Amino acid sequence: MAYITTSSHQRPTYSGSSRDNYQYQKPTYSQQQPSYSFAQERHIYEEQPHYTNAQTISRQYPDGDNRRNDRVTYSSGDGDFNRSTSTTTKIANGHTPYQYEPYRSSSAGRDKISCHNCDRNLAGSRYILKDDRPYCIKCYEDRFANTCDECRRKIGTDSKDLSYRDRHWHEKCFFCSMCKTPLVDKPFACINEKLYCGECYNQQFATRCDKCHQIFRPGTKKLEYRGQQFHEHCFTCYSCSQPIGTKSFIPRDQKSYCIPCYEQHFATKCTGCLKVISQGGVTYKDQPWHRECFTCTNCKNSLASQRFTARDGHPYCSDCFARLFAKRCFACAKPITGVGGTRYISFEDRHWHNACFLCQRCRSSLVGRGFLTEGPNIICPDCGKRESSYERDNNDYATRHRTVISYHHRTN
């Protein structure tokens, strides 16, 4: 009798911080679109522009000056930008206006606005405030404008400044490094400082299913087993092709089987009840049994981990076999059991335990010795000699004979 070991069930591993939390496989798309910025957005003052084709600047002279007030009109060439006024000046590049209070020159007695960097007179020109200081467009761009990461040129005040992770691009320079598709308002991935659109990223870097070899799209569950990765619908039973998912399965010959299919095709089944032996069990004559099914044919007690005797292929416990089938000793009438290879003696359809095979007269053991029969009784040769004279006188000698028997070793 031997013990049966059964195949262990296994489960796939879901990638993620825990097995129950599925990891959605997706490219490292930025979680926010590149932020659009304009050079003017760095300034303090912002108002809606009041676009006009011309503005009038009134120059006020000091009290007592007998000169008349002059009115000078400045006209913009394209009507896109407002010019300076005596109260507020609104500058626009088509996106955002700015205001400032003009600098005054006490010596000249009139308004004067000049670039903080090059001291150029800004009257009638566009300019930008930076920390309450006016700059001409050129000086502002030279000192403060960001450099495009693609073309390495300054991003002027008339261009959109796209930024991502402290990097900046012109709008026209923000494109996929492989297919050159513009990425403005589109998801993208940044790998090794290069930008990729979704399709190019998937083609170059996305992990793929080890069964269908397709990529894992964003929001797709991914299962991992023995270093391989699968779509949930691709990790299926080899036999029935049903998805295994989070259910248990059993691997066999590099293939995965769901529990019902494995039990149907490969599992060991009990000889007694014909059901699958899922854990534990015993074998007898190359036949598998549940421990609880391997019982005595007569009393139905379990024979697992016990000695037993078989007759006609059916197992019996020692007590039942002795009571039903064992030979009985001619001397003590008790069964001669075969457990442990018991030795016994047979003669003329009679059987004895070794310990019961004794001379009827002197009670000495006859095991390994010759003996004489006297009717149903057996006696040793010594007892036979002592009575030989008496027996001759009564002519009974002819009825006696000396017999030597062989020993039997019961093994069943």
- State residue 175's pLDDT score: 92
Q: Each residue of 303-333: pLDDT tens digit?
A: 887 888 888 888 888 888 878 877 888 888 7
Predicted confidence band at 21 (pLDDT cuts at 50, 70, 90)? very low
Predicted confidence band at 174 (pLDDT cuts at 50, 70, 90)? very high
Q: Each residue of 260-296: pLDDT tens digit?
A: 898 888 888 898 888 888 777 888 888 888 888 888 9
Predicted confidence band at 1 (pLDDT cuts at 50, 70, 90)? low
Domains of the chain: 2-24+206-265 (2.10.110.10), 34-174 (no CATH), 327-409 (2.10.110.10)
- State residue 237's pLDDT score: 92
The C-alpha atoms of residue 87 and residue 89 are separated, in whole angstroms, by: 7
CA distances from 95 to 213, 310, 365 (A): 49, 102, 127
- State residue 54's pLDDT score: 26
Residue scoring higher pLDDT (25 or 385): 385
pLDDT higher than threshold 50 for residue 140: yes
CA distances from 308 to 3, 315, 323, 335, 337 (A): 16, 6, 13, 15, 11
Q: Each residue of 344-394: pLDDT tens digit?
A: 788 877 888 888 888 888 888 888 787 887 778 888 888 877 766 555 555
pLDDT higher than threshold 50 for residue 5: no
Helix (H, G, I), strand (E, B) or coil at 407: strand
- Retrieve residue 5's tokens: 């070991």
Provide the b/e sequence for 226-265 (b: ≥16 CB within 10 Å): eeebbbbeebbbbbeeebbbeeebbbeeeebbbbebbbee
Predicted confidence band at 165 (pLDDT cuts at 50, 70, 90)? confident
Phi, psi of 37 (to 5 degrees): -140, 155
